[in-house]
Chain A
Amino acid sequence: MLIFDNLKINLQIIFKKLRSKGKLSNEDIKNSLREIRVTLLEADVNYKIAKEIVDKVAEEAKKQNIVESLTPAEQIITILYNEIKNILGDASPINIEPNKRNLVMLAGLQGSGKTTTAAKLAKFLKEQGKRPLLIPFDFKRPAAMEQLIALAKNNNLEVFEEMTGNPILVLKKALAYMENNQFNVGLIDSAGRKEIDTETMEELRTVANTFTINETLLVLDSTIGQGALKIAEGFEQYIPLTGGIFTKYDSSAKGGSILSFRYVTGKPVKFIGVGEKIDDLEIFHPERVVSKIVGRGDLATLAEKAERTISQEEGKDLFEKIQNDTFDLNDYKNQLEAIKKMGGFSSILSSMPVIPGMNLNALNDEKMLIKTEAVINGMTKEEKASPEIIDGSRKKRIAKGSGVTNHEINVFLKNYTMFKKFMQGTKNAKSIDQILKLR
């Protein structure tokens, strides 16, 4: 899940809050800016960049006299859209020139994914009709070369296997080998290094100065936090970066470090790694990403969706039920359904108040949501109204009927209890807004 998906959801909620009021006070604007800041920080956007983005949004909001606007949220989101888009820049293909020998070098911290990405890129280029040669250039990590050779063998790629002696000489030999065997792209897999390690960074500089390299790509792990800024700065100081690749995008990290990279280097992100397998490489499309954030086209629909999902009426109804202690499994189910309509738990979860004791992982799983519904559907009216009567044998029956395990039923019941408890804990809240408050 990416920063932008989450941002989208959080903004939907801010948006809804703003919208339902119609007109705004300066305080409202401040609150929404604060939400934007929190969202950015939680997505690992560097705090300096987050601050700049928020300041710019504020400035622009003032300029556009948002307070007077009838569609303030749309306007704020548009402004934010533009700010992030400005930072992300345009899409840019990998620069490989035809009829010529090309070199691509991958550099980065230890364990960022260079070797794996080198193999993925080789496959990608090969499919485009190029003749790539993988060049192991890590003399340090145990089995680094074996790793690249194995990746090549497993995927029918070519790799340069002579790796002894002086590094510069090795590269020269590799180039000669390319010449003699009609390879037109050499992919150099360099050893992992820290940007603060002057000795190994100087070595990299020497390579960059000795050879004509088309693409010098910084491979960064998208789980990196605030430090991405310094790392990008550090590498930039030693070698002329032409772009970046973000790996492990398949994690739940939100990837705010992409903004840091762009901010520091101004260079395009060219690919993202979305898994460990050879085909898990995707071209990075900033536009697509930005429109995912606050996609203009579906802006209004998003807002409406959020509003429709928990309508004022329904909210009031829920509120009363909580006050009167009549919130039961049926209501729980309705809540889950509402959440599903809004795009599923996984996306909504981050903007929900943390409910103590609830097994969020279980809920985070879309399948679990479906299962939860199945469980509820498998219950008798009686059981739904008073779940405490569900004993061992009832559990067994429900499990059988709804195709889930006993354990899952237990998780489900526990979640329900916690949810209810949480709801009851909010009994003293003055309004539904307070219950659904963001954090």
Chain B
Amino acid sequence: MKLLKTIKKIFEKNDSNSIENIEEFMLENNFGVEFAENFIEKIREERVTDKNIEETLKESIKNILDNTDPKIHFANSIPAVFLFVGTNGTGKTTSIAKLAHLYKNQGKKVMLVAGDTFRAAASKQLEIWATKLNIPIVMQKEGSDPGAVVFDGLNSAVSKNIDILLIDSAGRVETKKNLLKELQKIERVIEKKIGRKPDETLLVLDAYTGQNGLAQIEIFSSMVNISGIILTKIDGSSSGGIIIPIVQKYGIPVKFICTGENIEDIEQFNTEAFIKMLSG
């Protein structure tokens, strides 16, 4: 249920149900029980009147989200290197295609690296996008070392004066330590080649995700230098509200949101727009 409906319900009743309704709203949107309880304590302590609960919540959310910087980092030298990581099936490969399209339209020279050498036809999937967008891609056969593909990609990008290099990686759940270590290795390969960590290491998070989202961020960011989140599938029936406790706890900004399966369905994150979306 979107916030607006909840709030309307609150106004219609305008009684002690408001707190219950706002709690349900927070829980339903995966803000988590801890966040919900803290917020309710806050409005009780501050004696927020029923009428102002909505504004207070919006303000809290705004404060949390505005506390991080959603700017995209580009180094002074090219290529800018973006690495995409995350759990399985969240939308990494598709997000890369979308960003490639976005930057290409801005006149940038973009190249892709098919760093997922594990999943069946993962490279093929990225290759189809590259062909559609008419941009170069570096890939190797299934089962090869992802570090080696990334190394190839970096070399190729440097020699071809590529502006932005977008590196895909295989999906992995946060419980698989060895697979997370593989990401560290990719990070090291990049660092060795360009003398710095990837300009952006973006964790791709599915908007349907529940409380596990917190573990995803905590564990991935303990292994590699996560600089931002791409929140996908917010065109679905879940709002992606899990980012609220995530951003609050880990201070990692959401940089992009994805709103569908088509190539243009990506936007830079904007707090106001997100709150509006939440509010329905």
A residues in contact (CB < 8 Å) with B: 1, 37-38, 41-44, 47, 109-113, 140-143, 146-151, 154, 194-196, 221, 223-227, 230-231, 234, 248, 250-254, 256-257, 276, 359-361, 365, 439
Contact = CB atoms under 8 A, between A and B. Distances in A.
Contacts of B60: none
B27 interface: yes
Interface size class of B (residues with CB under 8 A): 35 or more
B91 interface: yes
Given A151-B120, A225-B238, A47 B210 contact: no
A150 B143 CA distance: 13
Contact of B210 (A141, A225, A234): A225
Given A43-B211, A110-B261, A150-B120, A195 B206 contact: no
Interface string B132-170: 000000000010000000000000000000000000000
Interface string B153-195: 0000000000000000001011111000000000000000000
B51 interface: no
B27 A226 contact: yes
Contact of B212 (A37, A196, A223): A223
B208 interface: yes
A225 B128 contact: no
B18 interface: no
B211 A150 contact: no
A360 B249 CA distance: 14
**5 closest Cβ pairs, A-B complex:** A225-B210, A111-B89, A227-B238, A253-B212, A44-B210
B interface majority secondary structure: loop
Interface in B13-57: 24, 27-30, 32-34
B237 A226 contact: no
A223 B209 contact: yes
A225 B175 contact: no
A109 B208 contact: yes
Contact of A44 (B129, B211, B219): B211
Contacts of A147: 119-122, 124-125
A34 B91 CA distance: 37
21 contacts: A38-B33, A111-B90, A111-B233, A142-B124, A142-B128, A142-B129, A146-B124, A195-B237, A196-B236, A221-B89, A221-B208, A223-B206, A223-B212, A225-B30, A225-B213, A227-B210, A230-B237, A248-B173, A253-B212, A256-B210, A257-B210
Given A140-B261, A146-B121, A147-B121, A254 B211 contact: yes
Contacts, number: 145
Nearest to B239: A227
Contacts of B199: none
A41 B212 contact: no
B235 interface: yes
Contacts of A226: 27-30, 210, 238
Interface of B: 24, 27-30, 32-34, 87-91, 118-122, 124-125, 127-129, 142, 171, 173-177, 206, 208-213, 215, 218-219, 222, 233, 235-238, 242, 261
Contacts of B173: 248, 250-252
B166 to A, nearest CB: 16
A188 to B, nearest CB: 18
A312 B238 CA distance: 46
A109 B236 contact: yes
A111 B175 contact: no
A110 B90 CA distance: 8
Contacts of A248: 87-89, 173
Nearest to A220: B208
A418 B158 CA distance: 45
A224 B125 contact: no
Given A250-B175, A256-B210, A154 B236 contact: no
Contacts of A195: 237
B212 A47 contact: no
A112 B238 contact: no
Nearest to B28: A226
Contacts of A250: 173, 175-176
Nearest to A155: B120
Contacts of A221: 89, 206, 208
Given A147-B125, A195-B237, A276 B119 contact: yes
B204 to A, nearest CB: 10
Contacts of A360: 218
A289 B235 CA distance: 34
Contact of B175 (A109, A151, A227, A252): A252
B177 A224 contact: no
A142 B235 CA distance: 19
B222 A361 contact: yes
Given A224-B210, A254-B211, 11 more contacts: A41-B32, A44-B210, A111-B88, A111-B91, A224-B238, A225-B212, A227-B238, A248-B173, A253-B212, A276-B118, A361-B222
Nearest to A233: B237
Contacts of A223: 87, 206, 208-210, 212-213
Contacts of B174: 251-252
Contacts of A224: 208-210, 238
B128 A143 contact: yes
